[in-house]
C-alpha cells in the first residue's frame, strides 16, 4: 500500500512530488533542502534538513533509527567535513549507507546542501 506524505512546499502539486512516500515498510524522503535556513552556515542548513526529514519520517511511521541510506548533495566541497559531522550527530550509531556528492548548484543558490533519506521499518517479527 502506498502512502504519500506531503510537506509544506507549494511546488508539490505543480511539480508532482511528495515530501516522502511510504510503500510497505520502506520510506523514501525526497531531496530536502534547508528551507528557511538560507542565511545559516553549512552546519545550520544541515540541521534544518534533519528537522524537516524527521517530521516526514514520523508522518510515515519511521524515525532516523530506520534510515538505511542517505545522499548528500553539496555545493561547496570544503563543507564536506562540517556536513559530515552533523550527519554523524544523527547517525553515529546507526551508520546508514551514505553518499556525498559535490554539485554545481541547487535550486536555491543560498543552499549549501540538499539530502535524501531512505528508511526501512522492521517487520514486527524482526523487532521481537
pLDDT at 19: 95
What is each CA distance from 24 to 55, 62, 88, 119, in whole angstroms? 19, 12, 28, 11
Axis crossing angle, helix 80-91 with helix 42-59, rounded to the nearest 10: 30
User: How far is it, in rounded angstroms, from Cα 115 to Cα 72?
Assistant: 5
Note down the domain range covering 76: 2-9+18-119
Residue (of 49, 91, 31, 99) closest to 66 by Cα position: 91
HSE-CB at 75 with a 13 A cutoff on CA atoms is 17
**CATH, residue 105:** 3.30.1330.40
Whether 61 is in a domain gets the answer: yes
Domain count, the chain: 1
Whether 42 is in a domain gets the answer: yes
User: How far is it, in rounded angstroms, from Cα 123 to Cα 6?
Assistant: 24
pLDDT at 66: 98
Whether 128 is in a domain gets the answer: no
Ordered per-residue pLDDT tens for the chain, 128 residues? 999 999 888 778 889 999 999 999 999 999 999 999 999 999 999 999 999 999 999 999 999 999 999 999 999 999 999 999 999 999 999 999 999 999 999 999 999 999 999 999 998 655 44
Grid cell at residue 89: 550527530
Residue (of 89, 98, 90) closest to 69 by Cα position: 98
Whether 125 is in a domain gets the answer: no
Amino acid at each position: 500500500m502506498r502512502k504519500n506524505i506531503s510537506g509544506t512546499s507549494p511546488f508539490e502539486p505543480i511539480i508532482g512530488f511528495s515530501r516522502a512516500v511510504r510503500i510497505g515498510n520502506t520510506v523514501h524522503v525526497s531531496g530536502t533542502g534547508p528551507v528557511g535556513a538560507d542565511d545559516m552556515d553549512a552546519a545550520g542548513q544541515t540541521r534544518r534538513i534533519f528537522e524537516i526529514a524527521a517530521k516526514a519520517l514520523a508522518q510515515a511511521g519511521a524515525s532516523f533509527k530506520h534510515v538505511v541510506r542517505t545522499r548528500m548533495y553539496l555545493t561547496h566541497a570544503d563543507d564536506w567535513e562540517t556536513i559530515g559531522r552533523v550527519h554523524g550527530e544523527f547517525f553515529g550509531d546507526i551508520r546508514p549507507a551514505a553518499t556525498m556528492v559535490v554539485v554545481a548548484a541547487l535550486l536555491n543558490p543560498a543552499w549549501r546542501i540538499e539530502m535524501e533519506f531512505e528508511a526501512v521499518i522492521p517487520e514486527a517479527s524482526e523487532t521481537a
